[in-house]
């Protein structure tokens, strides 16, 4: 299943590998932001990419309050319960730590459907994604982790070492296999003219922070304003987290008063990564700045605590959510040496590893009765 532009970009080649294997049958479920006009109806990109969507689970309410998000999770559990009864999958494949993944895992647990989880064991102390990720790990039976440190954490959670596979991040497969858009083509497709210096910016709410009114985001916008008009600012909208609409409204107001700035609901994987390869730095608190940007030797300015604890390349510059610290971090990132950057999340061959491990499980239902393994 896929819930947003973010996890779909990471899952793309895994889905292709499964789809193209005659011994496997892909059943694809689209949910959450994919089905929302507010977030660009991105399920249509999945169809354009040649995937048949077997089911849709409508779950997002027109609210980003804690109550609204909680109700969305409840709707998702109901929807997934109905879909799983109809599709009868042998296994559910999930990626990451979004709340729609938590809902799907809960429904699968009760429906006695074994779960394979990608990217468990990471740490992100600034968001409730942290607790969701570990919860999904405990409801999962096969674990495809992105690095050795995360593999050790999954073992600490009592999981069976025989079913913990360090495969790397499948998002790097997209980078290895793709042909990036040339700058003139990219400028035409996103209707934006690059400046002398350019930044790719994505900032999501810190869902465990008391800063619900966007003050931290305001500090970021202040820092970007101070850079001046010679800097191109390419924003993607925050995701469907608690208080995400507060940030989106402030972002729209900022872009309306800055000719050097553009905001996009979704660029899609090809355009997003092509932009990432062209800019001077990635700025914000999105995991893409840690997972994908190092593969382009593009530095990342990582703001605040949302990604705190996650494994980071040398090209990642952490800073607090104050304008002066953000400005200093951007200056340091842009002036940093960009040679010999090593991405700690793998080599771009994750998708085939995941598919092959799935094929080697003779009876997925035999995994349902789990044991706790003391590390």
Q: What's the CA gap between 221 and 148, in Å, rounded? A: 36
* pLDDT tens digits, one per residue of 30-44: 999 899 888 889 899
Where is pLDDT greater, at 155 or 69?
155
What is the pTM assigned to this prediction? 0.88
Q: What's the distance, CA 172 to chain centroid? A: 13
Output the pLDDT for position 139.
98
The percent of residues in the chain predicted with pLDDT above 90, rounded, is 83
Q: What is the CATH number of domain 5-170+348-366?
A: 3.40.50.2000
Output the pLDDT for position 126.
77
Residues in the chain: 375
The burial class, CB within 10 Å (0-12 / 13-18 / 19+), for 73 is: middle
Tracing tokens 């390349």 back to the chain, one arrives at 313
Output the pLDDT for position 62.
79
Indicate if the pLDDT at residue 246 is higher than 90. Answer: no
* pLDDT tens digits, one per residue of 188-207: 999 999 999 999 999 988 76
Indicate if the pLDDT at residue 241 is higher than 70. Answer: no
With cut-offs at 50, 70 and 90, classify the pLDDT of residue 103. Answer: very high
Mean pLDDT of 171-178: 94
Mean pLDDT of 87-94: 98
Output the pLDDT for position 355.
98
End-to-end CA distance of the chain: give it in Å, rounded.
31
Mean pLDDT of 352-358: 98
Report the 10 Å Cβ neighbour count for 40: 19
Output the pLDDT for position 37.
87
The burial class, CB within 10 Å (0-12 / 13-18 / 19+), for 10 is: buried
Indicate if the pLDDT at residue 213 is higher than 60. Answer: no
With cut-offs at 50, 70 and 90, classify the pLDDT of residue 359. Answer: very high
What is the torsional sign of CA 107, 111, 112, 114?
negative
Output the pLDDT for position 6.
82
Indicate if the pLDDT at residue 106 is higher than 70. Answer: yes
Q: Give the per-residue SS3 of the chain.
A: CECCHHHHHHHHHHHHHHHHCCCCCCCEEEEHHHHCHHHCCCHHHHHHCCCCEEEEECCCCCCCCHHHHHHHHHHHHHHHHHHHHHHCCCCEEEECCCHHHHHHHHHHHHCCCCEEEECCCCCCCCCCHHHHHHHHHHCCCEEEECCHHHHHHHHHCCCCHHHEEECCCCHHHHHHHCCCCCHHHHHHHHCCCCCCEEEEEECCCCCCCCCCCCHHHHHHHHHHHHHCCCEEEEEECCCCCCCHHHHHHHHHHHHHCCCCEEEECCCHHHHHHHHHHHCCEEEECCCHHHHCHHHHCCCEEEECCCCCCCCCCCCEEEECCCHHHHHHHHHHHHCCCCCCCCCCCCCCCHHHHHHHHHHCCCCHHHHCCCCCCCC
With cut-offs at 50, 70 and 90, classify the pLDDT of residue 288. Answer: very high
Supply the mean pLDDT for the chain.
93
CA angle 190, 194, 189 (to 5 degrees): 15
User: What is 181-334's CATH superfamily?
Assistant: Glycogen Phosphorylase B; (3.40.50.2000)
Indicate if the pLDDT at residue 242 is higher than 70. Answer: no
Mean pLDDT of 91-102: 96
Domain boundaries, the chain: 5-170+348-366, 181-334
Output the pLDDT for position 368.
97
Q: What's the CA gap between 324 and 306, in Å, rounded? A: 19
Output the pLDDT for position 364.
96
Output the pLDDT for position 243.
65
Whether 5-170+348-366 shares its CATH topology with 181-334 is answered yes
The percent of residues in the chain predicted with pLDDT above 70, rounded, is 97
Output the pLDDT for position 240.
62
Q: What's the CA gap between 53 and 56, in Å, rounded? A: 7
Mean pLDDT of 333-346: 94
Across 39-43, 348-352, 362-366, least confident range: 39-43
Mean pLDDT of 57-72: 89
């Amino acid at each position: 299943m896929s819930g947003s532009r973010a996890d779909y970009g990471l899952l793309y080649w895994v889905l292709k590998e499964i789809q193209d294997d005659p011994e496997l049958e892909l059943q694809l479920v689209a949910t959450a932001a994919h089905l929302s006009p507010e977030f660009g109806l991105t399920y249509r990109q999945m169809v354009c990419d040649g995937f048949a969507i077997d089911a849709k689970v409508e779950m997002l309410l027109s609210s980003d309050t804690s109550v609204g998000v909680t109700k969305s999770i409840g709707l998702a559990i109901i929807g997934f319960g109905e879909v799983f009864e109809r599709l009868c999958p042998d296994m559910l494949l999930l990626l990451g730590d979004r709340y729609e993944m938590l809902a799907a895992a809960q429904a699968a647990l009760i429906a006695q459907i074994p779960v394979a989880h990608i990217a468990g064991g990471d740490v992100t102390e600034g968001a409730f994604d942290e607790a969701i990720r570990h919860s999904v790990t405990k409801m999962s039976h096969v674990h495809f982790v992105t690095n050795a440190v995360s593999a050790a954490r999954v073992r600490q959670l009592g999981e069976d070492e025989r079913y913990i596979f360090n495969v790397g991040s499948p998002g790097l497969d997209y980078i290895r296999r793709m042909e990036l858009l040339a700058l003139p083509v990219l400028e035409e497709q996103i209707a934006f003219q690059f400046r002398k210096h350019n930044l790719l910016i994505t900032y999501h709410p810190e869902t465990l922070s008391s800063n619900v009114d966007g003050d931290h985001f305001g500090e970021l916008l202040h820092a970007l304003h101070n850079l001046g008009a010679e800097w191109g600012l390419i924003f993607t909208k925050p995701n469907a987290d608690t208080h995400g609409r507060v940030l989106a409204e402030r972002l729209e107001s900022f872009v309306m008063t800055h000719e050097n700035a553009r905001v996009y609901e979704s660029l899609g994987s090809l355009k997003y990564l092509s932009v990432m390869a062209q800019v001077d730095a990635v700025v914000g608190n999105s995991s893409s700045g840690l997972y994908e940007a190092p593969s382009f030797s593009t530095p990342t300015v990582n703001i605040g605590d949302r990604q705190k604890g996650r494994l980071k390349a040398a090209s990642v510059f952490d800073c607090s959510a104050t304008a002066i610290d953000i400005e200093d971090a951007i200056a340091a990132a842009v002036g940093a040496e960009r040679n010999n950057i090593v991405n700690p999340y793998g080599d771009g061959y994750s998708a085939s590893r995941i598919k092959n491990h799935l094929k080697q499980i003779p009876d997925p239902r035999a995994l349902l009765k789990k044991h706790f393994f003391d590390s």
